Amino acid sequence: MNLQSTRVKKGRKFDQVLEGAREVFLADGFEGASVDDIARAARVSKATLYSYVPDKRLLFMEVAKMECQRQADAAIARMQMSGPADEVLFEAASQMVRFFLSDFGRQTFRIAVAESERFPEIGREFYNAGPTIARTALTAYLVERIAAGELVIDDLDLAADQFIELCKAGVHTKTMMGVKTDFTDAEIDRVIRGAVETFLARYGA
């Protein structure tokens, strides 16, 4: 398949196709989702579906970008709350960790990495659709807490990246490698609290 054949074409029913695909991908995963089921959920013909997105992996990435945007918006809503860093960062970390560990989050990451070598723009678009937005919002929140005298940070970009990576500690690599895919609420809470406490131990005023 060449690059030209993977172009997404926007049209009147494009959003309808994405919503149908989202429903099926979230229910059945990438491998379990069939084009027939996606077309049925989207209430379009297979020919119409393929006229918009000619490749199942590309369709998944379009849905992933949309879902990451939603997750980023939810995280941003939490970071826009006024309140102390320990509370707001806990909420933001909760959103991120649970998305990292979700079936959809795992599948999205794997496919984005796999396809980005053949089609670098897919990886870039995916990164810009969610991670970059959430990182920008996190940086803006950190600036606010610095101004309030709660945090002391010299390198904001590094600090934001560190917080996101702390939210992956002990779980992300395991779930990506298939070592462990199910985590209890207590295990997830441990990672979230550890991320916030470690971050504040380093950057708290």
Please give the model's pTM, rounded to 2 decimal places. Answer: 0.74
pLDDT surpasses 60 at 43 = yes
Does the structure show a pLDDT above 70 at 162?
yes
User: CA distances (Å), 29 to each of 32, 111, 125, in order?
Assistant: 5, 12, 21
Helical axes 35-42 vs 14-32, angle rounded to 10°: 150
Mean pLDDT of 118-143: 80
What's the whole-number mean pLDDT along residues 10-33?
83
* Token representation of residue 15: 């959003």
Q: How confident is the model at residue 3 (pLDDT cuts 50, 70, 90)?
A: very low
Weakest-pLDDT range from 67-81, 113-127, 149-163: 67-81
Please state the φ and ψ torsions of residue 151, each to the nearest 5 degrees: -125, 155
Mean pLDDT of 78-96: 82
Mean pLDDT of the chain: 84
CA diameter of the chain: 59
Tell me what pLDDT residue 75 has: 65
